[in-house]
Structure 1
Amino acid sequence: MELGEVVRRRRMVRSYTGEPVSRAVVDRALEHAVRAPSAGFSQGWGFLVLDEPQDVAAFWESTTDPEDLAAPDPWLAGMSRAPVVIVPCSSKAAYLERYAEPDKGWSDRAETRWPMPFWHMDAAMASLLVLLTAVDEGLGACFFGIPPGRDAALRTRFGIPEDHDPVGAITIGHPAPSPGAAGSTARRRRRPTAEVVHRGQWQKRTG
């Protein structure tokens, strides 16, 4: 599939058939993920891959309130059928250590030197490559957040180290014929390029 077609087809899929996904496809998505850019080639990411039914079930148990799990809404019912969940994580420590090396020279390891949290940004770019690979393979995928109150349970259940922070989770699977939960694109228009691109200057100068 041409790159342009992959980009145009990418959307957040929230309902799956439950049909298995080839491990080779998942591996290919992860091989693409680690080709993402990272500041100083720090590569401060890690990916928890859950592709066994008991592990996927444990993910939802860890991240969902019991009452919601007992009576799932359309979103949860559709999402929890995905046979694969990937939890991308970022390591701030990896970046602070990398930039304390001789060729960078920020020996104080001060987080204040960073204008933006590149550790999260780079993990997000890696996640996008997973999403695009899923489309290229004829699959669906969705990136979504971990509820703040469930982070500790997720870490404990899967042994995520303290120096790695989950930036979200990605479901991968075969899209169900009828989506279980309509996404925001069904209710909101896509802003045209001309509305969001500001060439040369954002606003005209006055005076």
Structure 2
Amino acid sequence: MEFREVVRRRRMVRSYDGRPVPHEIVDRMLDHATRAPSAGFSQGWAFLVLDTPEDVGRFWTATTPPERAVSPSRWLRGMRTAPVVIVPLAHKAAYLDRYAEPDKGWTDRDELRWAAPYWFVDTGMASLLILLTAVDEGLGACFFGIPPARIGTLRSSFGIPEDYDPVGAITVGYRASEDVEGSRARGRRPLPEVVHRGRWQRPDEPIP
């Protein structure tokens, strides 16, 4: 598939038909994820892969608030049909260690030196490569957040170390014919609203 077609087709898929995803495709997703850029080539990411019904079920038990488990929404019912869940994890210490090395010299490990927390930025970019690979392989995927109050339960359920932070989770599978509609109906913002050439300009501001 041409890259521009992969980008055009990428969307969040929220309901799956239950077919298993071949292991070699999951491996390709993860291999592509590790090709993402990272500050100082720190590569401070890790990926928890859940691809058995038992592990996927434990994921939803760990991350679903009790009140939602009793009466799951249509979104949650659709997402639970995914045969694979990948949890991208950011490892801040890998960045602080890397930038304390002689060629960087930030031996004080002061986080204020960072314009943004690149351990999250880079893990997000790795996650996007997983989403794009899913499209290229004829699959659907959805990146979504994990409720902060459920992170501790997720950690204990799967033995995630305290110094690795989940940035979200990705469901992967073959898209169901009746996918759950999400926020896409809001429409895509046009380029003039988000692109600023030469200077920042409000959409309603007259061109000088």
With the shorter chain as reference, the TM-score category is over 0.9
Q: Which amino acid aligns with 1:190?
A: R
CA distance in 2 between partners of 1:18 and 1:58 (Å): 17
Q: Percent identity?
A: 68
Partner of 1:197: 195
4+ residue runs of structure 1 moved beyond 4 angstroms? none
Partner of 1:176: 176
SS in 2 for 1:141: strand
CA distance in 1 between partners of 2:158 and 2:120 (Å): 20
Q: Which amino acid aligns with 2:183?
A: S
CA distance in 2 between partners of 1:75 and 1:16 (Å): 11
TM-score normalized by the length of structure 1: 0.95
Q: Which amino acid aligns with 2:108?
A: D
Partner of 2:34: 34
Q: What is the count of residue pairs matched by the alignment?
A: 202
Partner of 1:17: 17
Partner of 1:4: 4
SS in 2 for 1:24: helix
Partner of 1:81: 81
* 56-65 or 67-76, which deviates more: 67-76
How much has 1:127 moved relative to structure 2? 0.1
Q: Which amino acid aligns with 1:116?
A: A
CA distance in 2 between partners of 1:176 and 1:93 (Å): 40
How much has 1:91 moved relative to structure 2? 0.8
CA distance in 2 between partners of 1:70 and 1:140 (Å): 27
Contiguous gaps of at least 5 residues in structure 1 = none
- CA offsets 1:90-110 (integer angstroms, 9 cap, x no match): 011110010000010000011
SS in 2 for 1:191: coil
SS in 2 for 1:20: coil
CA distance in 1 between partners of 2:46 and 2:14 (Å): 24
Partner of 2:72: 72
Partner of 1:132: 132
Superposed CA RMSD: 1.0
CA distance in 2 between partners of 1:154 and 1:191 (Å): 35
Contiguous gaps of at least 5 residues in structure 2 = none
* 159-168 or 65-74, which deviates more: 65-74
How much has 1:72 moved relative to structure 2? 1.8
Partner of 2:106: 106
CA distance in 2 between partners of 1:17 and 1:4 (Å): 26
SS in 1 for 2:160: coil
CA distance in 2 between partners of 1:73 and 1:106 (Å): 47
